[in-house]
Chain A
Amino acid sequence: MTVHTVQLRINGEVTTVDVKAHWSLAYVIREKVGLTGTKTGCEMGTCGSCTVLLDEKPIFSCLRMAVDAEGHEIQTIEGVEVENGGELHPLQKSFIELHGMQCGFCTPGMILAAKALLENNPDPSEQEVREAIGGHLCRCGTYVRIVRSILDAAQAVRAS
């Protein structure tokens, strides 16, 4: 099978990877680049745990081909702290303080989806928050506190 050499810009760092055409971005991020904060729960776009930001928009990285991700700015959960100058993002702080997680598996995807929401809409309603994470499952059923964490972080972002 043909191997393509692509340059992926992830969290501001360029990595050159040899990928096969059918490899998903999620697979390459995890298995070839070693950024395992991106989780792959279903590999078919139904759980949201592999969400990354592609040019600041949330995408399910299991549905995006790695060969098709060249030339874009990709951010994974590992990049959020880096981008914030080594400090936790207000969302991360809120999730910690308000227990916006249980097992933590859906957390990176939830935080990235929420980050994209707050960048476009710093004052979302509860319904808008729920819609922004509407494609994300949390089998621990932590929705109450995930939503509360996002709303709390929105307030912190607005205040800053």
Chain B
Amino acid sequence: MASNTSVVGKSLPMIDAYEKVTGKLRYAADLPPLHRMHHAKVLRSPFAHAKVVHIDTSAAEALPGVSAVITHLDNIIGTKKTCGQIWNDQSFNFQGPIISPEVCYVGDEVAAVSAVDEETAKEALALIEVEYEELPAIFDLEESMKPDAPAVHPWGPNRLDPSLFTWGDVEQGFSESDLIIENRITLGNQQHAPLDRNACIAAWERDSVSVWTSTQALFWIRDALTEFFELSPSKVRVYSTPTGGSFGLWWGNNFMILTVALARKAGRPVRLVLTRDEVQTTVKRRERPLIDAKIGIKKDGTMVAQRYQHVMDNGAYGNKFDPYQSVADIYPTPHGHVEFIGVATNLLPAGCMRGVGDLTLAYAIEQTVDMAAEKIGMDPLEFHLKNHWQTGDICHTSQEVVFAKLLFNREPEVRLSSSGLAECIRKGAEMIGWKEKWQGWGKPSSVQGNKVRGVGMGISTHISGLAFFGFNGITIKVNPDGTMALTTGIGRMGQAGDTTQAMVAAEVLGVELEDVNVIDGDTEVCGHTMVTFGSNGMHMVARATKAAAEDAKKQILEFAGRHLEASPEDLEIKDRRIFVKGSPDKGVGLGELMSTPIYDYLAPPEVIGRASEGVEFHRAGKMMIADFAEVEIDTRTAQMKVIKFVACHDSGTIVNPAVCENQVAGGYYQSMGLATTEHLVFDDETGAILNPNFLDYKIVGPLDMPDPDVYFEEVYDEDGPYGAKGIGEGVTCAVPIAISNAVYNAIGVRLDPPITPDKLMRALKNA
């Protein structure tokens, strides 16, 4: 835990809380209309795979009020980035032209219209005549991987080359093992399902374009537009507004590029607001995994070898090929073989969602580990404590390793900078009452009439940013009254990234949080932060923030030295005041210093602190998670109720406890959805999503689950600012594991999420 801090470690209110409680915070769809602005609508494919053989837009174009119609005939295609290769960016949901003559999933774009209002645009869509020629569509992962499978899309293979990691000799490891446990699992299709419906507004002025959208990927979008439309970065200005939740959904997306293209053709600003249906069915979903796990252990519970094949359904345009961080290393073994394979299907594109593979792969690993512990009759608690990851352990399967290989053809070693995993496991066991409640494998902790209860546990980990995300740039400008403006490219998704960055700056500069005004979301003003993802805010971006604040502090102390006729090294800054160490009476207020002329310059000082910091990847700061659940199942009705949930996290120093508690609780609710109710249902025949709304796709409400008990093990991470690591994504990763294992112990049957009453009913019948 960080000691002697005055701002860091306090549950200070979010700096935009006032705007949020008064309805003044503007998400993209809340921005006031621009002059002459038109409204867009998108015509989408009803087929999962088809060729557009004929399209007639003449009636739509003739409709009064319509300003532009674009289709594949406009051939809007980016080539700059790719030297003539197909344009490809995994987060944008298209490859090649933005509207292709070959549609690859239900919802794929066929045409887009801008008109004086949304109703006219909708009317115009109905006037577009399209003739499709249907092509074979594939909805199943395993079908898609077969050598003779029809192509899902017109570029590249259905199955991407695996990302492969090996260490030791896995076969030898298995032969040295006393027991081998194999397992195959899959999970449901989870949708990010933020409440906000995103919007994009684009406006061209000659050869420059400005874009407003709710996103966490400010610079990624800027760079994509730059590449796609062959513009200099100086001609593309992206303004990111806060997102009404994101969870990985609001990176770049095709709808943004469509809006930009429409605005160019229409010669006026254009706004596209997605419908709820479009948010659910055309942007992204969590990759659905199919995982084969095999682990070898000794009779005493020592893990010797592990082999995982993590196949992920990328949908039609997803391009995920690389590993998910390091959860495969959470049990250090001398031998390992892990491969990640991205596979295309004619379904909604898939990509990262909060926790990504550290949720899916952790689930497979932990189910298998649970089975292994059962085989040797060892309490899972003991098994976890015997085998878990510790400070200094190696990260074989880090994404950093992949990118070092791709970019430099080198294979570096990455080591864990800190781990409080053991403490989290012990604390969680104590909080759930493991000793009293765990009765053995497949055995309920209590039975009362039809109601059986069981407990379960699971662990996981997640990154705190990755080096290849690139440098983060921060500036801090000090005003004449001692307040300051901090610029950052960090997104605002509800994670309070602006607040916690400002807290770090305030801590360094000896001011209050309210003194720091955060300016974010403008590519022309803010320093680079590629995307706020991979939980990079508190560990990685904040390093730059801390360095920028230290730079500002150095300048302040130099000016204060002149003002006080003292050496800057002898000065300290605290409580908005600079003073001589040991003589607090000899000092000057920060506001006074900044507004008083200095003799040498005949003017008051001007201070701009700045830093651009990358991170070296050899030491990886990762958060550690141990979750425990107790569930109750009514064996008559097959209803499941969560009785108690304990979430223990090591995210290093907790910079803002209330923010972090909200993150953990939020991750719990979201993952509880994945564990019990959330599943996008694709029609077997058409590949269309049958539940594109909150009525049929159930996310957890305020009456559905008990509040979690949250505990933070504050291990000081030497590489993190004030000892902090990331938090935002890992919070989801171990929840479904604990639930599934608890269900197993309650009823003696293993079920994979979503654990719905029908699955339970069948399991109870067969048990």
Interface residues of A (CB under 8 A from B): 30, 34-44, 46-47, 49, 76-78, 80-81, 88, 91-92, 95-99, 101-108, 111, 130-131, 133-147
Q: A96 and B699 in contact (CB under 8 A), knowing A43-B275, A77-B22, A137-B694?
A: no
Give the chain B neighbours of A34 by CB distance below 8 A.
32
Q: Which of A41, A101, A139 contacts B21 (CB 8 A)?
A: A101
Q: How many angstroms from the CA of A124 to the CA of B30 in the assembled complex?
A: 33
The 0/1 profile, CB within 8 Å of A marked 1, for residues 651-686 of chain B is 000000011011101111110000000000000000
Asked whether any CB of chain A lies closer than 8 Å to the CB of B23, the reply is: yes
The 0/1 profile, CB within 8 Å of A marked 1, for residues 4-39 of chain B is 000000010110111111111111011010000000
**Interface pair A107/B196, CB less than 8 Å apart:** no
Q: How many angstroms from the CA of A76 to the CA of B492 in the assembled complex?
A: 24
**Interface pair A134/B26, CB less than 8 Å apart:** no
B26 to A, closest residue via Cβ: A36
The 0/1 profile, CB within 8 Å of A marked 1, for residues 317-341 of chain B is 0000000000000000000000000
Dominant secondary structure at the A interface: loop
Give the chain A neighbours of B701 by CB distance below 8 A.
134-137
Asked whether any CB of chain A lies closer than 8 Å to the CB of B474, the reply is: no
Q: How many angstroms from the CA of A105 to the CA of B194 in the assembled complex?
A: 9
Asked whether any CB of chain A lies closer than 8 Å to the CB of B242, the reply is: yes
**Interface pair A49/B11, CB less than 8 Å apart:** no
A42-B693, A142-B662 given; name 7 further pairs at CB < 8 Å. A46-B693, A77-B23, A96-B17, A103-B242, A106-B195, A134-B703, A142-B665
**Interface pair B196/A141, CB less than 8 Å apart:** no
Q: A141 and B20 in contact (CB under 8 A), knowing A36-B26, A97-B13, A99-B13?
A: no
Give the chain A neighbours of B242 by CB distance below 8 A.
103-104
Q: How many A-B residue pairs have CB under 8 A?
A: 169
Asked whether any CB of chain A lies closer than 8 Å to the CB of B193, the reply is: yes
Among B222-230, B243-251, B451-459, the stretch that binds chain A is B243-251
Interface residues of B (CB under 8 A from A): 11, 13-14, 16-27, 29-30, 32, 193-197, 242-247, 275-276, 492-496, 658-659, 661-663, 665-670, 693-695, 699-703, 707-708
**Interface pair B702/A143, CB less than 8 Å apart:** yes
Q: Which of B20, B193, B708 contacts A139 (CB 8 A)?
A: B193
Q: How many angstroms from the CA of A40 to the CA of B494 in the assembled complex?
A: 18
**Interface pair A107/B20, CB less than 8 Å apart:** yes
Q: A105 and B23 in contact (CB under 8 A), knowing A39-B244, A41-B244, A46-B695?
A: no
Q: A111 and B694 in contact (CB under 8 A), knowing A41-B196, A98-B658?
A: no
Give the chain A neighbours of B245 by CB distance below 8 A.
102-103, 105, 139-140
A94 to chain B, nearest CB (A): 9
Q: How many angstroms from the CA of A141 to the CA of B701 in the assembled complex?
A: 8
Please name 11 pairs of A and B residues whose Cβ atoms are closer than 8 Å in the assembled complex, sorted by A: A34-B32, A36-B30, A77-B23, A92-B22, A99-B17, A103-B246, A105-B195, A135-B701, A138-B702, A139-B195, A145-B665
B675 to chain A, nearest CB (A): 13
**Interface pair B11/A102, CB less than 8 Å apart:** no
**Interface pair A101/B23, CB less than 8 Å apart:** no
Give the chain A neighbours of B493 by CB distance below 8 A.
103
A99 to B, closest residue via Cβ: B658
A134 to chain B, nearest CB (A): 5
**Interface pair B20/A42, CB less than 8 Å apart:** no
**Interface pair B21/A140, CB less than 8 Å apart:** no
**Interface pair A81/B22, CB less than 8 Å apart:** yes
**Interface pair A99/B22, CB less than 8 Å apart:** no
A151 to chain B, nearest CB (A): 13
Give the chain B neighbours of A98 by CB distance below 8 A.
658
Q: How many angstroms from the CA of A98 to the CA of B662 in the assembled complex?
A: 10
A130 to chain B, nearest CB (A): 5
Q: A145 and B30 in contact (CB under 8 A), knowing A103-B245, A105-B245?
A: no
Give the chain B neighbours of A38 by CB distance below 8 A.
23
**Interface pair A103/B244, CB less than 8 Å apart:** yes
**Interface pair A144/B20, CB less than 8 Å apart:** no
Q: How many angstroms from the CA of A40 to the CA of B279 in the assembled complex?
A: 13
The 10 closest A-B pairs by CB, nearest first: A37-B23, A103-B494, A141-B669, A105-B244, A104-B20, A102-B494, A141-B666, A77-B23, A36-B30, A41-B195
A22 to B, closest residue via Cβ: B119
**Interface pair B702/A104, CB less than 8 Å apart:** no
Q: How many angstroms from the CA of A95 to the CA of B276 in the assembled complex?
A: 27
Give the chain A neighbours of B694 by CB distance below 8 A.
41-42, 44, 46-47, 137
**Interface pair B22/A102, CB less than 8 Å apart:** no
Give the chain A neighbours of B659 by CB distance below 8 A.
99
Give the chain B neighbours of A139 by CB distance below 8 A.
193-195, 245, 247, 670, 699
B31 to A, closest residue via Cβ: A36
**Interface pair B707/A143, CB less than 8 Å apart:** yes
**Interface pair A144/B244, CB less than 8 Å apart:** no
B557 to chain A, nearest CB (A): 34
Give the chain A neighbours of B195 by CB distance below 8 A.
39, 41-42, 47, 49, 103, 105-106, 137-139
Give the chain B neighbours of A37 by CB distance below 8 A.
22-24
**Interface pair A141/B658, CB less than 8 Å apart:** no
Give the chain A neighbours of B693 by CB distance below 8 A.
42, 44, 46
Q: How many angstroms from the CA of A35 to the CA of B22 in the assembled complex?
A: 11
A134 to B, closest residue via Cβ: B703
B372 to chain A, nearest CB (A): 32
Q: How many angstroms from the CA of A98 to the CA of B703 in the assembled complex?
A: 20
Give the chain A neighbours of B658 by CB distance below 8 A.
98-99, 145
Give the chain B neighbours of A46 by CB distance below 8 A.
693-695
B707 to A, closest residue via Cβ: A144
Q: A142 and B244 in contact (CB under 8 A), knowing A95-B21, A130-B702?
A: no
B243 to A, closest residue via Cβ: A103
Q: How many angstroms from the CA of A138 to the CA of B703 in the assembled complex?
A: 12
Give the chain A neighbours of B20 by CB distance below 8 A.
95, 101, 104, 107
Q: How many angstroms from the CA of A142 to the CA of B18 in the assembled complex?
A: 17
Give the chain B neighbours of A103 by CB distance below 8 A.
194-196, 242-246, 492-494
Give the chain A neighbours of B243 by CB distance below 8 A.
103
Q: How many angstroms from the CA of A98 to the CA of B275 in the assembled complex?
A: 32
Give the chain B neighbours of A92 by CB distance below 8 A.
21-22
Q: Which of B14, B27, B29, B665 contacts A144 (CB 8 A)?
A: B665
Q: A102 and B666 in contact (CB under 8 A), knowing A40-B197, A43-B275?
A: yes
A40 to B, closest residue via Cβ: B197
Q: A104 and B19 in contact (CB under 8 A), knowing A96-B13, A99-B13?
A: yes
**Interface pair B703/A131, CB less than 8 Å apart:** yes
**Interface pair A44/B276, CB less than 8 Å apart:** yes
B262 to chain A, nearest CB (A): 19
Q: A80 and B22 in contact (CB under 8 A), knowing A40-B197, A95-B17, A144-B661?
A: yes
Q: How many angstroms from the CA of A80 to the CA of B11 in the assembled complex?
A: 26
Give the chain B neighbours of A141 by CB distance below 8 A.
662, 665-670, 700
Q: How many angstroms from the CA of A47 to the CA of B27 in the assembled complex?
A: 17
Interface-central residue, B193, B196, B702, B708, by most chain A CB under 10 Å: B702
Q: How many angstroms from the CA of A134 to the CA of B701 in the assembled complex?
A: 7
Q: How many angstroms from the CA of A145 to the CA of B659 in the assembled complex?
A: 10
**Interface pair B662/A96, CB less than 8 Å apart:** no
Give the chain B neighbours of A134 by CB distance below 8 A.
701-703
Give the chain A neighbours of B708 by CB distance below 8 A.
144
Give the chain A neighbours of B25 by CB distance below 8 A.
104
Give the chain A neighbours of B17 by CB distance below 8 A.
95-96, 99, 101, 104
Q: How many angstroms from the CA of A43 to the CA of B692 in the assembled complex?
A: 13
Q: How many angstroms from the CA of A5 to the CA of B177 in the assembled complex?
A: 80
Q: Which of A47, A76, A111, A140 contacts B494 (CB 8 A)?
A: A140
B62 to chain A, nearest CB (A): 20
B492 to A, closest residue via Cβ: A103
Q: How many angstroms from the CA of A2 to the CA of B29 in the assembled complex?
A: 27
Q: How many angstroms from the CA of A104 to the CA of B84 in the assembled complex?
A: 43
B638 to chain A, nearest CB (A): 23
Interface-central residue, A39, A91, A103, by most chain B CB under 10 Å: A103
**Interface pair B276/A111, CB less than 8 Å apart:** no
**Interface pair A145/B276, CB less than 8 Å apart:** no
Q: How many angstroms from the CA of A114 to the CA of B661 in the assembled complex?
A: 22
**Interface pair A102/B662, CB less than 8 Å apart:** yes
Give the chain B neighbours of A135 by CB distance below 8 A.
701
